[in-house]
Amino acid sequence: MLASQPFEALRSKKPMSDSVIQTHQNAGEVLALDGVSLTVNGKTLLHDISVHSEAQGTTLIMGANGAGKSLLMKCLHGLLTPTSGSIKLLNRPSHETRHQQAMVFQKPVLLRRTVMGNLTFAAPKTTPPEVLHEMLERVNLSGKDQQPARVLSGGEQQRLALARALLTRPKILFLDEPTASLDPASVLIIERLIQEATADGVKSIFISHDIGQAKRLADDVIFLHQGRVTEHTSAATFFTQPLTSQAQAYLAGDVVL
């Protein structure tokens, strides 16, 4: 049934005004980066990134391969420590909001145990079993709770990873190309879950190369080029009037070097 739902169902997003994307620090900020740089082995991979946003919904990070998208996301989530600069999420230093964050990786990392074992590992101890089963139903994995997680298909594994992340009840959800190489049905389920989560007030920060998906999900877009943020605008503006030549080339499908 889920697979038969048209993608059009996901396209009913209201365009976000540029006014909600701030360039200066603000009291209600969800995301605040100031002068974030990352240098590894003498090479600077992220250059002086400053982004401020009080926008809820989904922020999309776009850019060519090697632009620094995943590095930026890892810095935001605290998996990497920036060489300089500060990161605040939900108006607090990033590390203080760690328990309010969750991340779904491009390649799902599943524990060597059953589907249910993976969920119970991450879910709060007090989570009732019916909530776990309901979550499995939402990701279309009902009846597979006792299967070894790592024998599931790629799409099923990623849906399980997303279910596990959502069970931690995050306020900020990081998604690093979660639908890369997945079948349309899995893409649809994952997009629907992300939209449901954002409707519930979860801030999603999403990396994707899929422009169609970006249009379906994004409220605002951060465009990275060679470790620098060259553009941060509402999705409506980004997709209709990209400012930089790199973003224009990227959206046109040209090779961006």
Of positions 13, 113, 192, 215, contacts another protein by CB under 8 A: 113
CA separation, residue 124 to residues 121, 153, 164, 203, 215 (Å): 8, 26, 11, 20, 34
Looking at the Cβ atoms of 157 and 246, the one nearer to another protein is: 157
Tell me how far, at minimum, the Cβ of 231 lies from another protein, in Å: 28
Q: Count interface residues toward another protein (CB under 8 A).
A: 20
Site residues (CB under 8 A) for another protein, limited to 65-104: 74, 77-79, 98-99, 101-103
Tell me how far, at minimum, the Cβ of 164 lies from another protein, in Å: 9
Looking at the Cβ atoms of 66 and 78, the one nearer to another protein is: 78
Collapsing DSSP to helix, strand or coil, 46 comes out as strand
**Which of 135, 126, 125 has the alpha carbon at shortest distance from 161?**
135
Residues 6+ apart with CB under 8 A from 208: 60, 62, 177, 179, 214, 217
**Which of 238, 225, 200, 187 has the alpha carbon at shortest distance from 59?**
238
- Residues 141-180, mask of contacts with another protein (x by CB under 8 A): -------x-xx----------------x------------
Looking at the Cβ atoms of 168 and 226, the one nearer to another protein is: 168
Looking at the Cβ atoms of 85 and 117, the one nearer to another protein is: 117
- To which H or E segment does residue 249 belong? helix 245-251
Tell me how far, at minimum, the Cβ of 74 lies from another protein, in Å: 8
Token pair 């090779």: residue? 255
Pair 238, 224: CB distance under 8 Å:
no
Give the C-alpha separation, 179 to 183, whole Å. Answer: 8
Q: Verify binding: residue 112, another protein, rule CB under 8 A.
A: yes
User: Which range of residues in 14-22, 110-118, 133-141, 218-226 is near another protein by CB under 8 A?
Assistant: 110-118
Site residues (CB under 8 A) for another protein, limited to 119-138: 121-122
